[in-house]
Chains A and B, each alone.
Chain A
Amino acid sequence: MSQEIVDTVTKYLTPNIPIKQISQGAEAVVFTSSAHPYLPTPEHDADGKPLQYIIKYRPPKKYRHPIIDRQLTKHRTLSEARLLSKLFLIGGINVPKLIATDPYNGCLWLEFLGEDLPNNSGFSNLKNFLWANVNDPYNDVVKSTLIKVGEQIGLLHFNDFCHGDLTSSNIVLARDDTQSNDWKVFLIDFGLGSMSKLVEDKGVDLYVLERAIISTHSAFSDKYNEWIIEGFSNVYNKHGKGGETKLKEVLKRFSDVRMRGRKRTMIG
């Protein structure tokens, strides 16, 4: 981890906002903080634990011209923020709440989602959740969760949005309420997301997720991918003939994308 990045962020967030780094990607560094940027009274979860917040920071890239770099960072920060705000307005889609947007410093504040899974199974993203169920891989909770995953992607695509990086780490599960075993499924990281009507973009989203499931959970991936597509199809099938036609188009392109992928791996 780069101390320089932490120092830069601390400098403009001020030491009043404690930060803890949880991830570093090519594009962004993600921190958690116990501070809310503007609420006067602290927020608590259903168990009475104080909430924490996500700060997603896009550091300057030294190899770019500073002015171009600032414009790009502003553009990307705003693009992700706009997507999150548009998606929230669509009924049924679950994305993190946008708390603050600071385009001048390349910073987004988001609601923190998820929790630590029991038995040291890690953070509750889809990937870790499936590993945590490896001894009973086809149980009801796994099935209903994967159908809900498919429904989230279906809602996204049906409304002509694409994710752009649909891995099983970018799907986060949060408890519906503290009593039940059921999970609510959230899509996170819209850094590469876009509004798109193109079946190609949708086919690629589905393919990326299918590959992610196959590569990490290969023994069970057929069933898992089937459940995801079941949930995905449910959304389209609710919209009559028009929905069914659109569904066919997307699934057809999905299988074309898969074929192209196979060819590429056979040659390469």
Chain B
Amino acid sequence: MILPQFPDYEINVSLYENVQNAADIQSRVAELPYAFIDANMICSVEQLTAAIYRTLMESTYNRLRTKTLHSEVLLALSPTSNIGEAFKKFGVKSTSERLIVVQINENGSQKIDDSLVQGDSVEFKDENLQSYCDVDAIRKVYKLDKSFQSNNTSDLSRALVDAIQLRGL
């Protein structure tokens, strides 16, 4: 995937279910050139790709807050600017059974290493995200007020995309 405004970056996203080795991955996140995201915290494609868009924008205008594009994606997903909290809430947990792996390459394409995640690879699309995402946990992390009733995933997702765009600004 390439975002039209940032053609120098090649982006790969994979979604896995029934992940067996989350604890192992979690212990090695610092050395692996990927962003590992707990898929239960993602309700739509646009939620994640809006965060990637923001990451590339912050990078282009020299405003990265973390060391790598991959850690910046986790921060970009978060509604607050606390980096530790962003990792804890959106990053892989030792118990994660569903994972999203994001790889961003500047100048040149690479593939996500197939042997990395032991689990079933499924298509990264709305239907596969919606059916499992943890709406209560998402609403809590994004601090959505009870008065906001998201009757469908697209309303929920829209509120998250707004928060992602405006964090810290």
A binds B: yes
Q: Which of B61, B162, B163 has the most CB of A within 10 A?
A: B162
In the complex with contacts A85-B163, A103-B169, A35-B4 CB distance below 8 A: yes
Q: Are B166 and A85 in contact (CB under 8 A)?
A: yes
Q: Are B46 and A78 in contact (CB under 8 A)?
A: no
A131 at the interface (CB under 8 A from B): no
Q: Are A38 and B53 in contact (CB under 8 A)?
A: yes
Q: Which of B5, B158, B169 contacts A88 (CB 8 A)?
A: B158
Q: Are A88 and B61 in contact (CB under 8 A)?
A: no
Q: Which of A35, A89, A98 contacts B161 (CB 8 A)?
A: A98
Query: What residue of chain A has the Cβ atom nearest to residue B56's Cβ?
Result: A38
In the assembled complex, the CB of A28 is this many whole angstroms from the nearest CB of chain B, namely: 18
Chain A interface residue count, Cβ-Cβ cutoff 8 angstroms? 28
B21 at the interface (CB under 8 A from A): no
- For B153, list chain A residues within 8 Å (CB): none
Q: Are B162 and A104 in contact (CB under 8 A)?
A: no
A41 to B46 Cα, complex, angstroms: 10
B122 at the interface (CB under 8 A from A): no
A37 to B166 Cα, complex, angstroms: 16
Interface string of B152-169 (1 = CB under 8 A from A): 000000110111011001
Interface string of A95-139 (1 = CB under 8 A from B): 001111111100000000000000000000000000000000000
Q: Which of B1, B46, B49, B165 has the most CB of A within 10 A?
A: B165
In the assembled complex, the CB of A237 is this many whole angstroms from the nearest CB of chain B, namely: 20
Q: Which of B1, B161, B169 contacts A40 (CB 8 A)?
A: B1
Residues of chain A at the chain B interface (Cβ within 8 Å): 12-14, 16-17, 35, 37-41, 78, 81-82, 84-85, 88-91, 97-104
Residues of chain B at the chain A interface (Cβ within 8 Å): 1, 3-5, 7, 45-46, 49-50, 52-53, 57, 61, 144-145, 147-149, 158-159, 161-163, 165-166, 169
